[in-house]
Amino acid sequence: MGPLFTQYLRSLEGTPDERLALAVWKRLREILKSELKKRGLWYNPPSYLGIFGWSTWSEAGEGALEELVAECYSFIFVDRLGRLLAQLRAKPNVEGLILLNVHHFFLERQKEHDPLGYRVFEMVQAAARQAVEQGELFVLSGDPQVRNSTVLGFAPDAPEDAAPASLGSLVARWNDELLPDLVMARGRRQEDVWLKLRGFFRELESQGILSFRFRDVLDPLKSDTRLRWAALLGEGEEGGTPERAVRKVLPETPVESQESLEKLTRYMSAAVSRMPMDPRTREYLATLWQYLRFQVGASEAAGSLEPLAGEPGDLERSSHRRISQLLGIPRERLPGLFSTLRQLASKAQLLARSGPKSRPRSSRREAG
């Protein structure tokens, strides 16, 4: 039998073959399950990938996994079919491209539904790569681009098996100094965070740790960041919370609106670029928007999706002090910025729904 996915793609242009479709489905299921484990997602809630209604991947006959396969199938064989068939014109097979698309599927999903986790991954990975380039760390095994399973050491000949089983308690303390910049630093300010992270890596050595697996640093830092950020959601004043402010700008999360925040960001970017405003205001809007995205992602991943009641006008005001402190935006500017973002988001959502390019992005298990 030839390459399965290529064969299936070719069959779509001629006579559809049900047995082939079934084989593709099963194969995709295997690949996704394997990827979930490889990426350390198997023991995280499916909501981190936008699959709602299940608390684990393994419950109820792996129903969440089946849902993920459906989403991924649609991502590859419906949404990107044109791209794949195009490549098939110039290549004998596209098996490698299917795996690449699975990688892209995970990227998009993680960034969209677990933005905090993805952000922490990117920041820690960038810092680790810098440390490797500067000769502070050495790749002892695994992908030199630094992935979950890469083992890093403080000397080229450090023993790989010196990696301790758990670094959780050590690493979680890093956030005392890293937050909120680990999440919110933008542009060149990110370099300060990478420097701090490199300093924390070096501290591991001074504590007698000769090598460590990248994942063993990343996972506890991700978990701690999610916890602390979720706590921020409940830290409002006078009964209001930043989350409520978020809801007022984005009355519907992607789950309800069927439109991704990534796409909304693109609409917002285009809309803001057309508006006459000074660079500082533009910067404030971008910072506030980034903050709102992380808040929505954090609450969505935590499963707190109940629509919030409350009349417009009184809620966001109460959380402005907190947001102002976190983002370094003058408090008196926040009402105006929220108002601008609210108008733009409403327009963007309308545009996204009416436009021909919108497509379902998130899945939720049917109630009952």
Partner 1 sequence: MSEEILSGRQRELAAAATAAAQRLRTTADRTVGRPAEVGDLFVLEATSDFPVEWALLDRRGAEGPFLAVPGDSHPFLGSRDLEVGTSTGLLTLRCQAGLWLEPAAFEPGLRVGTLEPGDLERARLKVREVAQRGFTPDPFLEETDLSPEYEEWMRDVVQPARAAAGSLGAAETFKPAVQPPGRPLLSRWLAAAAIFILVGSGLAVWVLRQNRQIERLAARASSSEAALSAERGRREEAERTAAQALKEREEQAGELQARLSALESRVEASPQPLLNPPVAILQPAEVLRGTAAKSYKISAAAPVLTVVLKFRETEIYPAYRLTLTREGNAEPIWSTDGLERSAEGVQLALPRRYVPPGRYRLSLSGLRSGRAQPVADYELAITR
72-131 residues in contact with partner 1 (CB under 8 A) are 73-74, 77-83, 85-87, 89-93, 95-97, 99-104, 107-108, 111, 122, 125-126, 129
Distance CA 46, CA 255 (A): 14
Q: Which of 21, 302, 305, 327 binds partner 1 (CB under 8 A)?
A: 21
Is the CB of 315 or the CB of 344 nearer to partner 1?
Answer: 344
In whole angstroms, how close is the CB of 332 to partner 1 at the nearest point? 21
In whole angstroms, how close is the CB of 143 to partner 1 at the nearest point? 8
- Residues between 53 and 72 that touch partner 1 (CB under 8 A): 70
Is residue 22 involved in binding partner 1 (CB under 8 A)?
Answer: yes
Is residue 136 involved in binding partner 1 (CB under 8 A)?
Answer: no
Number of amino acids touching partner 1 (CB under 8 A): 77
Give the ranges where the chain is alpha helix by DSSP (H). 4-13, 18-38, 59-74, 81-90, 95-113, 115-133, 168-172, 175-178, 181-184, 190-206, 214-233, 242-249, 254-257, 261-274, 279-301, 315-327, 334-354
Is the CB of 22 or the CB of 195 nearer to partner 1?
Answer: 22
Q: Which of 187, 276, 313, 368 binds partner 1 (CB under 8 A)?
A: 187
Q: Which of 156, 208, 276, 312 binds partner 1 (CB under 8 A)?
A: 156
Is residue 269 involved in binding partner 1 (CB under 8 A)?
Answer: yes
Peptide bond into 180 cis (omega under 30): yes
Is residue 148 involved in binding partner 1 (CB under 8 A)?
Answer: no
Is residue 347 involved in binding partner 1 (CB under 8 A)?
Answer: no
Segment near partner 1 (CB under 8 A); pick from 20-28, 219-227, 234-242, 250-258: 20-28
The amino acid at residue 187 is: G
CB 338 within 8 A of CB 316: yes
CB 355 within 8 A of CB 267: no
Is the CB of 156 or the CB of 313 nearer to partner 1?
Answer: 156
Phi, psi of 321, rounded to the nearest 5 degrees: -60, -45
- Residues between 282 and 321 that touch partner 1 (CB under 8 A): 282-283, 285-287, 289-290
